[in-house]
């Protein structure tokens, strides 16, 4: 019993996969197996603070809150019997029942006997005394007693398991109180006379399905809002609004996002239709969607959705996110890179796009956020949606942002392509990041943006590209050729055609090849004549560039 008592505490404190829990269960099983070597059963008499075996006290615990004996005694159990095999599975369940019974509230519908009966133990039996009846006496253990309550079906120490079921039924009927007058019993009817036909059965099935298929929460909420609209008394409305406010956290916890969206929509309807709505009530109703859109509440909601094992449908989440306010945009953008559930991520992104399209001021606010992840996601979103007002907030990001953020800004600006976007891309030509410069120059050259010509020309004819790689040089020269046109042929010819003479300065092959590609963008007869002069150049890089440029000129 000491091992059982310790095992009960261990199973209470630890989970089944814990080594302490497993060791305690093994100790209990080993202790029982040693007992079964000497006896075929264990029968204990239960007292308030002790358990006795053959009139010997083998377990005593004065502190009732820790006593197994008191837990059994207070609910009427007066004897307890264990049989071989109890240690395999039922002893752990039995200890769990005792622990559950200890924690039951005074007004709980169940008690220890109900819990024991529900487990239907096969190797644990017990006798009990009905505490509710006056002058009750314990059921005595006799060899001829009827089967008692317990999984085993027999009185400890007796042979009750062999009792005749017919005899037991007769004894129960004799001991049962007489029927009250006027009480209808099903035994008084011949059920064969009252069978339903197929149509009636089908009708009942449909009605049951309809009843269980109703949205009970939705019905309750609809009634609350009907009362809120029709009742003009301030105290009644205050109570109804309080109920709705307290209902929202419960619905969020239950994952009923459709009902939360319904509440937010109905609040807008009530604000328009309710008569004599005082300013205090109006303020509370208007604040409900705003409260859900605040950073703390929305962050907790998104985290719960991402970590949940079962998720609501897309329609439910769409309805909820569709009711968010503009101030939720920054929070949604900050959570996008953190979400691992693709469905939740898609819905958050869709909701953010809706808010961004409707609220340009919130877009600029998100771009000015202190959170770099919010800025990055907002820039990408602005590019996807081609938001024309977004470039106004991207200038500071292009000046002081990190490399990834700058690249995202340039890509978004090239996608938007508005006049304000191209003005920012002009500044990106002189950026410190190579990829930023290349992306900006390529776009401006393709668009034929003449305002960028001065910056590009200074890079081509100056020393700015001296240490640049071939890709960057090629981007600048091709943009120069596209923007300069016929007027740039002379400059490019000086760079392409090698000068003769011992002291003549010759350009490196990469620069000459880039000049050839730039001439190919001009696509005029004069540009073709210059390219043909060096079509047989000894530098392979230059020859390949010239041949490619000639194909471009020829296809013009």
Q: 412, 376 in Cβ contact below 8 A?
A: no
Residue 536's SS3 state is: coil
Q: Which of 297, 215, 206 is CA-nearest to residue 252?
A: 297
342-387 pLDDT, tens digit per residue, is 888 888 888 888 888 888 888 888 888 888 888 888 888 888 888 8
Strand partners, 60: 50
Q: 307, 339 in Cβ contact below 8 A?
A: no
Strand partners, 358: none
Buried residues in 483-507 as b, exposed as e (16+ CB within 10 A): bbbeebbebbbebbbbeeeeeeeeb
Q: What does the pLDDT read at residue 501?
A: 43
Q: Which of 261, 269, 255 is CA-nearest to residue 225?
A: 269
Q: Which of 456, 462, 414 is CA-nearest to residue 439?
A: 414
Q: 76, 152 in Cβ contact below 8 A?
A: no
What is the rounded distance in angstroms from the CA atom of residue 267 to the CA atom of residue 274?
Answer: 10
Tokens of 444: 């401006």
Domains, the chain, with CATH or none? 2-164 (no CATH), 433-556 (1.25.10.10)
* DSSP conformational letter for 285: H
pTM greater than 0.75 (yes/no):
no
Phi/psi at 544 (nearest 5 deg)? -65, -40
Spell out the residues 6+ positions from residue 357 whose beta carbon is closer than 8 angstroms to its own: 385, 387
Residue 51's SS3 state is: strand
Q: Which of 254, 243, 256 is CA-nearest to residue 288?
A: 243
Spell out the residues 6+ positions from residue 71 whose beta carbon is closer than 8 angstroms to its own: 98, 101, 102, 112
Residue 395's SS3 state is: helix
What is the rounded distance in angstroms from the CA atom of residue 163 to the CA atom of residue 77?
Answer: 22
Q: What does the pLDDT read at residue 173?
A: 64
Query: Beta-strand (E) ranges in 118-237?
Result: 124-128
Q: What does the pLDDT read at residue 348?
A: 83
Run of H or E including 58: strand 56-60
What is the rounded distance in angstroms from the CA atom of residue 191 to the CA atom of residue 352?
Answer: 63
Q: What does the pLDDT read at residue 83?
A: 92
66-93 pLDDT, tens digit per residue, is 888 888 888 888 999 999 998 888 888 8
Give the chain's residues under pLDDT 50: 134, 136, 139-150, 152-161, 501-504
Q: What does the pLDDT read at residue 181?
A: 66
Spell out the residues 6+ positions from residue 518 whose beta carbon is closer than 8 angstroms to its own: 460, 477, 478, 480, 481, 484, 488, 492
Tokens of 403: 């490399």
């Amino acid at each position: 019993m000491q091992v059982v008592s310790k095992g009960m505490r261990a199973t209470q404190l630890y989970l089944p996969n814990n080594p302490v829990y497993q060791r305690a269960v093994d100790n209990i099983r080993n202790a029982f197996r040693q007992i079964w070597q000497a006896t075929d059963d264990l029968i204990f008499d239960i007292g308030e603070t002790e358990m006795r075996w053959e009139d010997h006290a083998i377990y005593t615990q004065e502190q009732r809150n820790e006593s197994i004996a008191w837990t059994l005694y207070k609910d009427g159990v007066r004897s307890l019997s264990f049989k071989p095999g109890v240690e395999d599975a039922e002893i752990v369940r039995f200890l769990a029942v005792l622990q559950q019974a200890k924690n039951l509230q005074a007004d709980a519908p169940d008690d220890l006997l109900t819990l024991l009966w529900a487990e239907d133990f096969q190797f644990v039996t017990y006798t009990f005394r009905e505490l509710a009846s006056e002058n009750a006496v314990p059921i005595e253990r006799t060899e001829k007693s009827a089967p008692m309550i317990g999984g085993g079906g027999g009185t400890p120490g007796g042979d009750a398991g062999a009792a005749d079921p017919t005899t037991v039924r007769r004894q129960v009927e004799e001991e049962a109180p007489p029927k009250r007058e006027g009480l209808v019993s099903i035994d008084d009817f011949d059920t064969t006379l009252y069978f339903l036909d197929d149509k009636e059965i089908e009708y009942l099935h449909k009605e049951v399905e309809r009843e269980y298929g109703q949205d009970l929460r939705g019905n309750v909420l609809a009634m609350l809002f009907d009362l809120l609209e029709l009742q003009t008394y301030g105290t009644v409305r205050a109570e109804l609004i309080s109920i709705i406010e307290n209902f929202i956290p419960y619905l969020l916890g239950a994952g009923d996002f459709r009902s939360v969206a319904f509440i937010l929509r109905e609040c807008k309807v009530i604000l328009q239709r309710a008569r004599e709505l005082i300013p205090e009530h109006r303020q509370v109703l208007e604040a409900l969607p705003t409260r859900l859109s605040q950073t703390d509440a929305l962050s907790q909601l998104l985290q719960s959705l991402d970590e949940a094992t079962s998720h609501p449908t897309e329609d439910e989440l769409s309805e909820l996110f569709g009711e968010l306010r503009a101030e939720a945009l920054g929070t949604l953008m900050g959570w996008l890179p953190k979400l691992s559930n693709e469905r939740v991520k898609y819905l958050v992104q869709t909701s953010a796009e809706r808010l961004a399209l409707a609220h340009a001021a919130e877009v600029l606010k998100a771009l000015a956020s202190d959170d770099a992840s919010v800025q990055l996601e907002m820039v990408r979103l602005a590019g996807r949606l081609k938001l024309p007002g977004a470039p106004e907030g991207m200038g500071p990001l292009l000046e002081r942002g990190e490399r990834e953020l700058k690249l995202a800004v340039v890509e978004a600006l090239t996608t938007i392509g508005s006049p304000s976007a191209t003005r920012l891309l002009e500044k990106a030509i002189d950026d410190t990041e190579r990829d930023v410069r290349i992306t900006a120059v390529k776009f401006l050259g393709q668009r034929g943006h003449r305002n960028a010509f001065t910056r590009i020309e200074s890079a081509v004819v100056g020393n700015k590209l001296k240490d640049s790689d071939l890709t960057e040089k090629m981007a600048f020269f091709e943009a120069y050729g596209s923007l300069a046109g016929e007027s740039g042929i002379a400059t490019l010819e000086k760079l392409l055609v090698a000068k003769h003479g011992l002291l003549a300065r010759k350009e490196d092959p990469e620069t000459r090849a880039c000049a050839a590609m730039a001439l190919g963008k001009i696509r005029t007869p004069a540009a073709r004549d210059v390219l043909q002069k060096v079509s047989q150049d000894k530098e392979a890089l230059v020859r390949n560039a010239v041949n490619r440029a000639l194909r471009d000129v020829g296809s013009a």
